[in-house]
């Protein structure tokens, strides 16, 4: 076989160029390496720290002992709640958090020992709606190339078990709710990964089929008919994993003494109307503290919704101190709130404590970690990862918050399943809060009149809360 000399020259040049790019200016030279090595002096103190770190958990070594006993579980203002929920190995924190807000109201209104909504029921419809959102998105973008950013994002995110409050509003409003004993949790609802992976795999396959049919000239009306057939398969997969959602049921409400308050037939929608009844789509406002973007502006996240015909995630961006004012007003009025944060930062799980001073990594490692909230967001070092229910605040004599408490959905644990956070931690790692309209301030009301600034779905600030 003859090889063209030009090909040899091109291949040789590419190889040489590649080698030069990898070993040329900018690499670590022997002289630089000697300077770098001076970062470890090998003193007795260095060796002692190295021995400690290599044989222990860094977090245990970094605990600031002087700061361990500064907090207790007293709060000047606290919304009453009973029991604790457990999302287990699923990313449904957004759903548990939203339902926990209304659960507390039902317990207090009817004097119940405990009460829980079914989380499996709305999760079923959430997954089906997200499947439709993906497939219809594929139809809408059928004429765009595969490397188009929207098409690329769709195939990377066909569906997930994570989400945020817009999902609570849209799914509950459309499909209603049922009590926990009407449709029980299953292994796949408690452990969602395998089911989600299989459904996502099938959706990607269907997405390619829809694009291929479109390329062959199939009209949108036929594509949508095919989509319906595809969704029938997804529905069957969901039923096999989660059970079939009920259309009606009989349920008896008993108070804390066991006395019957009511016993009657319901549909999921009538149960929603009787025990929640709120206008979730219009009566709740999402507030954000994102210092990378301009404050007092209204933002909307494209494609960031749980239903194709649902509402895009829309929020008001505000300084954190203004968000606190509304949070305090809500707690004082015995109303819980949907709250999301970067829960993994400075978190002592054994004590249920979130405190920026709890771990002193700098003293342990002989350096500093000096980025502020804006810098951490811009460098992908921090973002909201988990939703919980904000339910308590401790105010000093001047009315300033000193610490906060949330009801978590990880089952019983420290503080009976609640997490306590310092006010400083709230400043640094709180991102989103959903409040009822009656608690918003006049400046927020003015912002809501603006036309939202639309942001792309792939913005890293807007990952699902799990």
Catalogue the active-site residues: 93, 386, 408
How far are the Cα atoms of 326, 417, 425, 433, 466 from residue 341, in angstroms, in the given order?
A: 17, 17, 10, 9, 11
Q: How many CA atoms lie within 13 A of 156 on its CB side?
A: 11
State the Cα–Cα distance between residues 25 and 108, nearest whole angstrom: 69
Classify the C-alpha dihedral 381-387-388-390 as positive or negative.
positive
Whether the CB-CB separation of 331 and 79 falls below 8 Å is answered with yes
Instruction: Report how far Cα 424 is from the mean position of its chain's Cα atoms.
Output: 21
Where do the DSSP E strands lie in 171-257?
249-254
State the Cα–Cα distance between residues 15 and 12, nearest whole angstrom: 5
Tokens standing for residue 68? 């361990």
At 52, which helix (H) or strand (E)?
A: helix 44-54
Local structure of residue 40 (DSSP, 8 states): -
State the Cα–Cα distance between residues 219 and 8, nearest whole angstrom: 49
């Amino acid at each position: 076989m003859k090889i063209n000399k030009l090909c040899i020259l091109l291949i040789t040049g590419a190889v040489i160029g590649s080698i030069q790019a990898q070993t040329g200016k900018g690499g670590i030279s022997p002289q630089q390496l000697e300077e770098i090595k001076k970062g470890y002096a090998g003193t007795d103190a260095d060796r002692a720290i190295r021995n400690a770190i290599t044989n222990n958990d860094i977090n245990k070594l970094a605990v600031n002992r002087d700061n361990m006993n500064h907090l207790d579980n007293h709060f000047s203002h606290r919304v009453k709640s009973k029991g604790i929920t457990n999302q287990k190995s699923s990313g449904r924190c957004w759903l548990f958090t939203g339902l926990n807000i209304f659960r507390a109201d039902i317990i207090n209104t009817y004097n119940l020992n405990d009460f829980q909504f079914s989380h499996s029921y709305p999760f079923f419809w959430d997954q089906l709606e997200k499947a439709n959102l993906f497939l219809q998105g594929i139809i809408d973008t059928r004429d765009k190339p595969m490397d188009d950013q929207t098409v690329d994002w769709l195939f990377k995110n066909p569906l997930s078990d994570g989400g945020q409050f817009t999902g609570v509003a849209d799914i509950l409003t459309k499909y209603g709710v049922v009590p926990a004993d009407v449709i029980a949790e299953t292994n796949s609802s408690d452990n969602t990964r395998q089911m989600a992976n299989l459904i996502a795999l099938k959706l990607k396959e269907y997405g390619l089929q829809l694009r291929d049919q479109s390329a062959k000239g199939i009209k949108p009306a036929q594509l949508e008919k095919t989509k319906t057939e595809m969704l029938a398969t997804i529905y069957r997969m969901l039923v096999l994993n989660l059970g079939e959602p009920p259309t009606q049921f009989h349920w008896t409400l008993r108070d804390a003494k066991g006395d019957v308050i009511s016993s009657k037939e319901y549909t999921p929608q009538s149960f929603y109307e009787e025990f929640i009844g709120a206008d979730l789509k219009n009566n709740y406002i999402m507030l954000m503290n994102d210092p990378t973007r301009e404050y007092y502006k209204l933002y909307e996240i494209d494609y960031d919704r749980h239903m194709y015909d649902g509402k895009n995630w829309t929020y008001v961006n505000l300084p954190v101190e203004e968000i606190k004012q509304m949070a305090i007003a809500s707690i004082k009025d015995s109303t819980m709130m949907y709250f999301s944060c970067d829960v993994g930062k400075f978190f002592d799980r054994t004590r249920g404590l979130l405190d920026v001073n709890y771990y002193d990594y700098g003293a342990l490692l002989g350096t500093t970690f000096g980025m502020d909230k804006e810098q951490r967001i811009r460098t992908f070092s921090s973002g909201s990862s988990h939703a919980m229910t904000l339910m308590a605040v401790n105010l000093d004599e001047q009315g300033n918050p000193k610490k906060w408490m949330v009801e978590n959905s990880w089952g019983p644990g420290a503080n009976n399943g609640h997490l306590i956070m310092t006010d400083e931690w709230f400043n640094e790692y709180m991102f989103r809060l959903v409040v009822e309209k009656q608690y918003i301030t006049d400046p927020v009301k003015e912002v809501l009149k603006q036309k939202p600034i639309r942001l792309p779905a792939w913005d890293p600030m807007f990952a699902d809360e799990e």
